[in-house]
Amino acid sequence: MTQATVTEARSGTAHSGTTERWIAIMGGTALGLAGLRRGSWALAALGGGLFLAGAAGVPIAEPVARRVREGNLGLGDFGDAAERLPGVAGLLPTAQREPTTTQANVTVAAPPDKLFRHWRNFRNLTELFPHLDAVEVLSDTESRWKAHGPGGVEVVWHSALDKVRENELITWHTLDGAQLPHRGSVMFKPAPGDRGTEVRLTLVYQPPAGAGGRAVSRLFGMAPEQQAREALRRLKRIVEAGELPTIKGQPRGNRGMREVME
Amino acid sequence: MRALCWNGVNDLRVERVPDPTLLGPHDAIIKVKLSSVCGSDLHLIDGYVPTMKPGDVIGHEFLGEVVEKGPEVLRLNRGDRVITVSIIGCGKCWHCQHEEYSLCDNSNPQPAYEEAAYGHCTAGIFGYSHAFGGYAGSHAEYIRVPFADTNCFRVPEGVSDEKAVFVSDAVPTGYMAADMGGIKKGDIVAVWGCGGVGQMAIRSAYLMGAERVIGIDRYPYRLEAAQMKAGAEPLDYTRVDVFDALLAMTGGRGPDVCIDAVGMEADGYDTGIEYWYDRTKQAIGLENDRPAVLRQMIECCRKGGTLSIVGVYGGFIDKFPMGAAMNKALTFRMGQQHGQRYVKRLFEHIEKGELDPSYLLTHKWSLDDGPRGYRMFKEKIDDCMRVVFTP
Ligand SMILES: NC(=O)c1ccc[n+]([C@@H]2O[C@H](COP(=O)([O-])OP(=O)(O)OC[C@H]3O[C@@H](n4cnc5c(N)ncnc54)[C@H](O)[C@@H]3O)[C@@H](O)[C@H]2O)c1
Ligand SMILES: [Zn+2]
Ligand SMILES: [Zn+2]
């Protein structure tokens, strides 16, 4: 199977495609402006909503995405993908259903050993994945993970380390009984020049029958690709800036409580 | 506290909102003493920046006093009189380390909007829409500044508040515009727009060795300030053909460096049909920005010259004369200001008397007059260059 197909599988299940996204943004802006100009807040809100959907990669045209998916995908063996993703090679099962591969990349202005140590200390991972509540280390290779879904539903699974290459690579897979079986790898590679370290996070999910990426989203309230990307962003921000910048809790006007002073 | 909030297109209100609190270890709280309007705010007020939300506090050019700081703020102390750069850097990422603060990887808490629209996210900006982070702005009694050690700068003793406040935004933006022009001895520089940013670009071009600087605008009082205060040769684009005039003033060569200090809401006077084409498309949302100035700069610029763009654009433009740009081998430089790179140098210029931005302050008003102040600034009445609010 070709690389292009893998990419399509990814964008088809994990987030809305680029074209769709642009339509959402452009349509959102145009509608928003038209709405504001006519003084209609309802229309403006609709426009704004579309922009949000576009910006957040929320699938707004699921039937389109599904068609793309079904039109292009057979039962691939993902051999090519495995080769391109060091650390995942050889870990992929001969699938009955298609696994979903999600990948995120980020460059962090820090040396590989610092990032490796940060990740290797599993306690730090709860900061990177907001739905993750605790990681308990059971042995040299095994650990127990506890997370919560959108409704506060508790999810527990066990995970085993496969490869640990100091300052370079960590790979793992979930053990039998996991609700969301997956394999993962995180790679640390020196970036050229003074750019720090390239970090690549790859997650290969075996989605429950017929459910696809949406089941994963339902479990964790976020598409897997977005989770991976956000996790790496948090890693970068914590290691580089020493905090996760936020605007939660800052003052803002409230139309209801306003005191018009003019 | 009181704050000036955006509530919709052309709908600003002074409201009572909670005081800000420290949210991160590198935050500081500043008691605002002076807070200026800026041409960038007009793009929000006119509705050309799509991710504003009712209740957003605006304002990003300000001076004040440090009243509180987080445990990891090391360089500042309570009581310091500081200016804060409008665009927020974390100080630690690769871009900040290379003094490209407005490209900071980390300071925007809501990166999804820009990543979807631009491919990457850039720095957070105070009071400048949720795409740029959604940070509450400075038209308020207090403001929270993230990464305060990187973004706040103590004002030197002898420099007055009225001179210092514009080192937050207008001065570094104009200075960077001139800097990006790569001005060499003998260069003639043309600056489109004689608002606060254009005025500072003119002065900065001289500081960097320009032979002559031409200032282009339509408001007589702004052209007069450009001439009398900044030393420009004024050009009223409603009275002459800009192309003909610039060529006549440069021996037929065209300006070596062209600076855009106007941005997406350019007026078009001598370009009637073109203006209404863009104005209409922009109004119905098919084009985000009106590029009249950009097109004119490409036409006028000397072959092999440089276009330096600090006027703000947000989305897409139409009828971009790529053929002229390519065949004339023009260089394009642009960006939001990296103020932190320039503040020290700017205060030195001010202390030596080589630069005095205080004439930009034409009106000092109470924050309660915020909505009225913005109307005056927007309509360019009462010879208003910049209104500065005192909360
Ligand atoms: N890059 C940055 O970091 C940065 C920082 C601050 C401001 N800005 C941008 O700089 C621009 C100017 O800001 P300002 O505060 O001086 O605004 P301003 O509104 O005070 O001034 C803009 C001036 O441009 C003039 N103008 C309009 N159309 C013109 C045309 N076709 N030809 C020549 N002049 C024309 C107007 O008459 C006005 O005097 C804005 O777009 C603003 O968003 C950018
Ligand atoms: Zn500004
Ligand atoms: Zn940064």
CATH superfamily, region A72-241: START domain (3.30.530.20)
Say how many CA atoms lie within 13 Å of B325 toward its Cβ. 15
Which two three-digit tokens encode residue B97? 């380390």
Residue A38 has pLDDT above 70, yes or no: no
CB A240 within 8 A of CB B93: yes
Residues 6+ apart with CB under 8 A from B348: none
**Tens of pLDDT, residues B26-38:** 999 999 999 999 9
Task: Rounding to the nearest 10 degrees, give the CA dihedral for residues A104, B52, B177, B343.
Answer: -90
Residue with the two structure tokens 């006519």: A38
Q: How confident is the model at residue A88 (pLDDT cuts 50, 70, 90)?
A: very low
3-state secondary structure of B61: strand
The rounded Å distance from CA B131 to ligand 3 centre is: 17
Query: Could you give the CA distance from residue B229 to residue B348 in angstroms, rounded to a whole number?
Result: 19
Which two three-digit tokens encode residue A103? 């990948």
Q: Which of A16-25, B62-71, B359-368 has the lowest mean pLDDT?
A: A16-25
Evaluated on CA atoms A222, A228, A230, A231, the torsion sign reads: positive
Long-range pairs for A143-147: beta carbons < 8 A, 24 or more residues apart: A147/A220
Residue A44's pLDDT is 30
SS3 for chain A is CCHHHHHHHHHHHHCCCHHHHHHHHHHHHHHHHHHHHCCCHHHHHHHHHHHHHHHHCCCCCHHHHHHHHHHHCCCCCCHHHHHHCCCCCCCCCCCCCCCEEEEEEEEECCCHHHHHHHHHCHHHHHHHCCCEEEEEECCCCEEEEEEECCCCCEEEEEEEEEEEECCCEEEEEECCCCCCCEEEEEEEEECCCCCCEEEEEEEEECCCCCCHHHHHHHHHCCCHHHHHHHHHHHHHHHHHHCCCCCCCCCCCCCCCCCCCCC
3-state secondary structure of B36: strand
Q: Name residue B279's amino acid.
A: R
Residue with the two structure tokens 């070596």: B256
User: Which has the closest alpha carbon to B203: B165, B176, B238, B237?
Assistant: B176
Residue B359 has pLDDT above 80, yes or no: yes
Q: How confident is the model at residue A214 (pLDDT cuts 50, 70, 90)?
A: low
- What is the average per-residue pLDDT within B327-346? 98
**Tens of pLDDT, residues A2-12:** 333 333 333 33
CA nearest to B57 within chain A:
A252
3-state secondary structure of B390: strand
Q: Which of A82-91, A146-155, A181-190, B219-228 has the lowest mean pLDDT?
A: A82-91
Average pLDDT, chain A: 67
Task: Answer whether A259 sits within 8 Å of B124, measured CB to CB.
Answer: no
- What is the average per-residue pLDDT within A168-177? 94
Q: Where are the domains of chain A?
A: 72-241
The rounded Å distance from CA A234 to ligand 3 centre is: 14
- Ligand 1 atom 21: the closest Cα is on which residue? B195
Q: Is A118 on the interface with B (CB under 8 A)?
A: no
- List where CATH 3.40.50.720 sits in chain B: 172-334
Task: Answer whether B3 sits within 8 Å of A259, measured CB to CB.
Answer: no
Residue A226's pLDDT is 85
Query: Could you give the CA distance from residue B383 to residue B391 in angstroms, rounded to a whole number?
Result: 23
- List where CATH 3.90.180.10 sits in chain B: 2-169+337-390
Residue A36's pLDDT is 34
3-state secondary structure of B56: strand
Q: What value, to the nearest 5°, has the Cα angle with vertex A249 and ends A247 and A254? A: 100
Say how many CA atoms lie within 13 Å of B161 toward its Cβ. 15
Strand-pair partners of A145: A135, A157
Task: Kindly report the CATH number that applies to the domain delimited by B2-169+337-390.
Answer: 3.90.180.10
Q: Is A256 on the interface with B (CB under 8 A)?
A: no
Please give the residue that has the higher pLDDT: either B390 or B282. Answer: B390
**Tens of pLDDT, residues B183-230:** 999 999 999 999 999 999 999 999 999 999 999 999 999 999 999 999
Residues 6+ apart with CB under 8 A from B132: B108, B114, B122, B123, B124, B125
Task: Answer whether B17 sits within 8 Å of A253, measured CB to CB.
Answer: yes
The answer for A 170-229 residues in CB contact with B (under 8 A) is 194-196
Which residue among B7, B48, B93 sits closest to A253, beta carbon to beta carbon?
B7
Residue B15 has pLDDT above 80, yes or no: yes
Q: How confident is the model at residue A255 (pLDDT cuts 50, 70, 90)?
A: low
Please give the residue that has the higher pLDDT: either A51 or A153. Answer: A153
Q: Which of A34-43, A218-227, B86-95, B268-277 has the lowest mean pLDDT?
A: A34-43
Which residue among B13, B106, B372 sits closest to A241, beta carbon to beta carbon?
B106
Phi, psi of B59 (to 5 degrees): 105, 135
Residue A222 has pLDDT above 80, yes or no: no
Residues 6+ apart with CB under 8 A from A34: A43, A47, B284, B285
The rounded Å distance from CA B166 to ligand 2 centre is: 10
Give me the percent of chain A exceeding a pLDDT of 70. Answer: 53
User: Which has the closest alpha carbon to A185: A150, A157, A211, A159?
Assistant: A159
Q: Which of A53-57, B55-59, B303-307 has the lowest mean pLDDT?
A: A53-57
Residue B237's pLDDT is 95
Q: Is A154 on the interface with B (CB under 8 A)?
A: no
Which atom of ligand 1 lies at the shortest distance from residue B293's CA?
A: 31
Task: Answer whether B106 sits within 8 Å of A56, measured CB to CB.
Answer: no
- What is the average per-residue pLDDT within A65-81? 32
A76 backbone φψ class: left, alpha, beta (φ>0; ψ -120 to 50): beta
- Choose which residue among B259, B262, B278, B279 to substitute to test ligand 1 binding: the one with the highest number of ligand atoms within 8 A of its C-beta: B262
Please give the residue that has the higher pLDDT: either B144 or A182. Answer: B144
Please give the residue that has the higher pLDDT: either B388 or B288. Answer: B388
Query: Could you give the CA distance from residue A176 to residue A168 in angstroms, rounded to a whole number?
Result: 27
Phi, psi of A118 (to 5 degrees): -60, -45
User: For chain B, how far is it from start to end, CA to CA, in angstroms?
Assistant: 9
**Tens of pLDDT, residues B74-124:** 999 999 999 999 999 999 999 999 999 999 999 999 999 999 999 999 999
Share of chain B residues as helix, strand and coil, in percent rounded to the nearest 5: 35, 25, 45
Question: Has domain B172-334 been given CATH number 3.40.50.720?
Answer: yes
Task: Answer whether A255 sits within 8 Å of B105, measured CB to CB.
Answer: no
Residue A18 has pLDDT above 70, yes or no: no
Average pLDDT, chain B: 96
CB B391 within 8 A of CB B34: no
Largest Cα separation within chain A, whole Å, is 70
Residue B234's pLDDT is 98
Residue A216's pLDDT is 56
- What is the average per-residue pLDDT within A180-193? 94
pTM: 0.85
Query: How distant, in Å, are the alpha carbons of A86, A160, B228 from that of A164?
Result: 13, 11, 69
Q: Which of B96-100, B165-169, B266-270, B368-372 has the lowest mean pLDDT?
A: B266-270
Strands (E), B27-76: 28-36, 56-57, 61-69
Q: How confident is the model at residue A261 (pLDDT cuts 50, 70, 90)?
A: very low
- Choose which residue among B36, B37, B38, B219 to substitute to test ligand 1 binding: the one with the highest number of ligand atoms within 8 A of its C-beta: B38
Q: Name residue B4's amino acid.
A: L
**Tens of pLDDT, residues B249-301:** 999 999 999 999 999 988 876 556 777 777 777 777 767 778 899 999 999 99
Residue A21's pLDDT is 42
Residue A215's pLDDT is 57
CB B237 within 8 A of CB B219: no
Task: Answer whether B285 sits within 8 Å of A30, measured CB to CB.
Answer: yes
Which two three-digit tokens encode residue A21? 């996204």
Q: Is A34 on the interface with B (CB under 8 A)?
A: yes
Q: How confident is the model at residue B21 (pLDDT cuts 50, 70, 90)?
A: very high
**Residue B313 Cβ < 6 Å to ligand 1:** no
Strand-pair partners of B16: B2
Residue B293's pLDDT is 95
* Pairs across A and B, CB distance < 8 A: 165
The rounded Å distance from CA B87 to ligand 2 centre is: 9
User: Which has the closest alpha carbon to A245: B231, B156, B26?
Assistant: B26
